Amino acid sequence: MKPFLLPVLVASMALLSSSVTAKETCESLKTKIEAKLAGKGVKAYSLTMISPAEANGIDTEKVDAKGPRVVASCDGGKQKILYQRTSAVR
């Protein structure tokens, strides 16, 4: 019985952790993204929360560095976070 318990426990923990991260609030995720960008020295950008419908047709890859791209999903998939470079402040 004990050898069966360990795989069940591991699988349960994996499911729990994935459901918790999938429902992360947009504000907390946006803060994490801002911290990561600040750590890389990125200064001229905007992060905007949009609906999945608004995100249709927006690239999620780094194909066009000047265009906007969806970088994250939050609130259980109800919103997306859009990253776009902006003009540098002079």
pLDDT over threshold 80, residue 70: yes
Q: 67 pLDDT band (50/70/90 cuts)?
A: confident
Distance CA 49, CA 14 (A): 28
Q: What is the pLDDT of residues 2-54, one digit of tens each?
A: 554 445 444 555 554 444 445 678 999 999 999 999 999 998 999 999 999 99
Q: 59 pLDDT band (50/70/90 cuts)?
A: low
- Phi first, then psi: give them for residue 63, nearest 5 degrees: -70, -50
Give residue 46's pLDDT: 93
Residues counted in the chain: 90
Give residue 18's pLDDT: 44
How many CA within 13 A on the CB side of residue 82?
Answer: 18
Give residue 50's pLDDT: 93
Q: Where are the domains of the chain?
A: 23-85
Where does residue 50 rank: exposed (0-12), middle (13-18), buried (19+ CB within 10 A)?
A: middle
